[in-house]
């Protein structure tokens, strides 16, 4: 994970601290003129840099607190309060460094996503039939490629082997790996199963599916509007009040030093520091409940979120199939499962593993198999030691030997695996991708938090999506969506800010395009994790409610700290206006105000303690780890 630099690593902070130390040393040594010159040069430099950024922001319509800081620094130089001016410089640069740490702009860079793109391919040379490893950029349309077990498909293509079983969940959003027959299309970014296969490239790497996903993410990130700093919203009124008090004090006293003395304690450092510190505390607090928030601005958006889009596979569901029911016909359920598992041991289909797993968990003795053959996309035929034949697979595949098969009244999203023994229908196994146990309760809590517009956006079929939606209480469902269509759905949503929760490469563009993208990243880093604003590192969807709670408390603490700083600063301004607060003393008191604001903002570090444990939906060990500050991965 990206680590933000320490604030003292910021060059402007080092310059300010060094200049303050050097100026103080020169003054102690009696070199007052040299000290004044050094301070003037440093203050002038910081004023020029700050003024340049200030003008650029103003041209874009953003009026920030930098205006007041620039006026205060210039005023201290004009009236000869150089030490006070350097203290202002140190507070200003320190606040900016803290803010950059909180925002953590580098978190949205796509370096990791791009580096995970397929880097090489194995080409079968036409002349000598040798398999040669080549950079993926050298693959040409028409090349015959060998894809080994567990490798990422380098480019789009068509299958040349009799079959290929690939995991497309990170690309298409489908919950399970699929078996492709000879001539079927396969997409780059998919992951091959355990069996090698040959394919013919139909596109170069630059024109393949994975490259289009990366481009979509880049475009979505580039289209996002910059976040306005929380403190900047108070800039214009605070600046106006400060200049008014300073101006009146100068007018009534006739002393321009009075103007500078007021502005010294009016510098906006509490405002600049309070929000970043609170947001850093909130980000740390979120990590304690297994949510990595990449930017401080994300917390502010999460605190105001009004709409939530959720992917189905791996978000609302667990992302892997399980056996939910076994129905016996000519055989008992135990016999049906035992025969099915015996045959499925020889299958690479995604349903094979859960079937075998359930049989082993129940302690069943599987009949010995003499031979077995898998028929791509259909099923498996196994010959047992006693000579009887077991056929496991789709209805039409089993119907070839059993004749009529009764229709089953299956709920949407449930798949049936038929089992025939010796030409008779032995039974049926039902498999589904289970809904997360905490999904329904999480959505209920989201609505209590003010997220009233909740919808599902998935690449899965309508019937399966509808069944999951009914189970968790989502009425508005967008099914069979491509990554591009997902982006359009979220962008067209009228309730803002809107968050999107997803998992997999196919969700990366919509996570980047939404106001807040949240990735379910417990099963490992993916393109979704790289393009998201926040990543849930546990298997619990309830963490989404936790981070919204933490965000609201963090923003509340930030605002309280800002207002505390404003109130104290206004009080000091009034004291300075009557001539009772010299500039240097005012600058030092302003540091005390900064400390108070920071201590107030640090309360956000314990924001996770305000999340009721009953809402976490986690096991006792995970809850204990969260309380100790251990992030689960």
Write out the DSSP string of 30-50.
T-HHHHHHHHHHHHHHHHHHH
How far, CA to CA in Å, does 272 sit from each of 383, 465, 561?
Answer: 75, 46, 11
Nearest-angstrom CA–CA distance, 164 and 348: 9
DSSP, collapsed to helix, strand or coil, labels residue 185 as strand
Q: Answer for the pair 558, 542: CB distance below 8 angstroms, yes or no.
A: no
DSSP, collapsed to helix, strand or coil, labels residue 161 as coil
Sheet containing 291-293: which strands, arranged edge to edge?
Answer: 291-293, 534-536, 516-520, 498-502, 307-310, 453-457, 476-478
Other C-beta atoms lying within 10 Å of the C-beta of residue 236 = 14
**523 token code pair:** 């099963």
- Please, is 619 exposed, middle or buried when counting C-beta atoms within 10 Å of its C-beta (0-12, 13-18, 19+)? exposed
Integer-rounded Cα Rg, in Å, for the chain is 32
**360 token code pair:** 């082993």
DSSP state letter for 417: E
Write out the DSSP string of 473-529.
T--EEE-S--HHHHHHHHHH--SSSEEEEE-SGGGHHHHHHSSEEEEE-TT---HHH
Q: Please identify which residue in the block is written with the tokens 């016996």.
A: 328
| Alpha-helical segments (H) within 514-601 | 527-531, 543-577, 583-601
Q: How far separated are the first and last CA of the chain, in Å rounded?
A: 12
- Please, is 277 exposed, middle or buried when counting C-beta atoms within 10 Å of its C-beta (0-12, 13-18, 19+)? buried
Nearest-angstrom CA–CA distance, 563 and 271: 8
Q: Please identify which residue in the block is written with the tokens 């490469």.
A: 505
Q: Please identify which residue in the block is written with the tokens 């206006």.
A: 577
Q: Answer for the pair 382, 389: CB distance below 8 angstroms, yes or no.
A: yes
Nearest-angstrom CA–CA distance, 633 and 626: 12
Residue environment code for 440-464, b if the CB has 16+ CB neighbours within 10 A, otherwise e: bbbbebbeebebebbbbbbbbeeeb
Q: Active-site residue numbers?
A: 311
How far, CA to CA in Å, does 196 sit from each of 122, 409, 514, 594?
Answer: 11, 38, 38, 63
C-alpha dihedral sign at 354, 360, 366, 368? positive
């Amino acid at each position: 994970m990206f680590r933000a630099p320490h604030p003292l690593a910021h060059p402007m902070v080092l310059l300010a601290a060094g200049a303050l130390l050097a100026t103080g040393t020169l003054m102690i040594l009696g070199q007052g003129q040299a000290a004044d010159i050094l301070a003037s040069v440093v203050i002038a430099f910081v004023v020029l840099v700050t003024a340049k950024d200030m003008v650029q922001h103003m041209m874009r319509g953003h009026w920030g607190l930098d205006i007041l800081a620039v006026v205060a620094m210039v005023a201290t130089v004009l009236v000869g309060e150089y030490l006070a001016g350097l203290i202002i410089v140190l507070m200003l640069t320190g606040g900016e460094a803290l803010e950059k740490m909180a925002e953590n702009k580098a978190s949205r860079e796509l370096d990791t996503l791009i580096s995970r793109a397929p880097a090489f391919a194995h080409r079968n040379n036409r002349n000598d039939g040798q398999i040669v490893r080549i950079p993926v950029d050298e693959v040409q349309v028409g090349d015959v490629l060998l894809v080994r077990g567990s490798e990422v498909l380098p480019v789009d293509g068509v299958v040349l082997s009799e079959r290929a079983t690939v995991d497309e969940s990170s690309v298409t959003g489908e919950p399970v790996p699929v078996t492709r027959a000879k001539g079927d299309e396969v997409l780059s970014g998919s992951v091959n199963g355990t069996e090698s296969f040959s394919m013919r490239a139909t596109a170069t790497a630059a024109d393949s599916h994975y490259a289009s996903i990366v481009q979509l993410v880049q475009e979505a990130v580039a289209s996002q509007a910059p976040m306005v700093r929380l403190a900047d919203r108070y800039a214009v009124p605070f600046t106006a009040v400060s200049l008014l008090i300073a101006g009146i004090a100068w007018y009534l006293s006739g002393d321009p030093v009075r103007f500078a003395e007021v502005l010294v304690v009016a510098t906006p450092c509490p405002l600049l520091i309070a929000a970043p510190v609170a947001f850093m505390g909130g980000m740390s607090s979120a990590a304690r409940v297994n949510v990595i928030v990449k930017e401080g601005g994300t917390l502010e958006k999460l605190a105001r979120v009004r709409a939530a889009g959720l992917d189905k596979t791996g978000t609302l569901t667990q992302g892997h199939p399980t056996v939910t029911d076994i129905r016996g016909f000519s055989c008992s359920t135990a016999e049906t499962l035992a025969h099915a598992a015996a045959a499925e041991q020889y299958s690479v289909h995604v349903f094979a593993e859960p079937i075998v797993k359930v049989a082993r968990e129940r302690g069943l003795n599987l009949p010995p198999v003499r031979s077995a053959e898998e028929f791509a996309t259909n099923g498996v035929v196994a010959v047992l030691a006693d000579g009887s034949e077991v056929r496991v697979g789709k209805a039409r595949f089993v119907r070839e030997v059993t004749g009529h098969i009764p229709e089953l009244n299956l709920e949407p999203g449930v798949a049936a695996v038929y089992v025939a023994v010796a030409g008779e229908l032995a039974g049926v196994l039902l498999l589904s991708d289970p809904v997360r146990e905490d999904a329904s309760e999480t959505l209920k809590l989201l609505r209590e938090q003010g997220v009233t517009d909740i919808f599902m956006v998935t690449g899965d079929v309508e019937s399966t999506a509808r069944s999951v939606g009914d189970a968790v209480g989502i009425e508005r469902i967008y099914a069979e969506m491509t990554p591009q269509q997902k982006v359009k759905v979220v962008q067209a949503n009228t309730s803002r800010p809107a968050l999107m929760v997803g998992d997999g490469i196919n969700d990366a563009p919509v996570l980047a395009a939404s106001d807040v993208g949240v990735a379910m990243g417990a099963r490992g880093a993916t393109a979704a994790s790289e393009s998201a604003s926040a990543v849930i590192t546990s298997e619990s969807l309830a963490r989404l409610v936790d981070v919204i709670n933490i965000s609201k408390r963090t923003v509340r603490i930030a605002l309280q700290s800002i207002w505390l700083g404003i109130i104290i600063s206004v009080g000091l301004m009034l004291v300075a206006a009557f001539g009772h607060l010299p500039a240097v003393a005012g600058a030092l008191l302003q540091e005390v105000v900064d400390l108070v604001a920071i201590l107030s903002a640090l309360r956000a570090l314990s924001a996770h303690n305000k999340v009721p444990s009953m809402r976490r939906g986690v096991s006792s060990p995970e809850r204990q780890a969260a309380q100790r500050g251990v992030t689960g991965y």
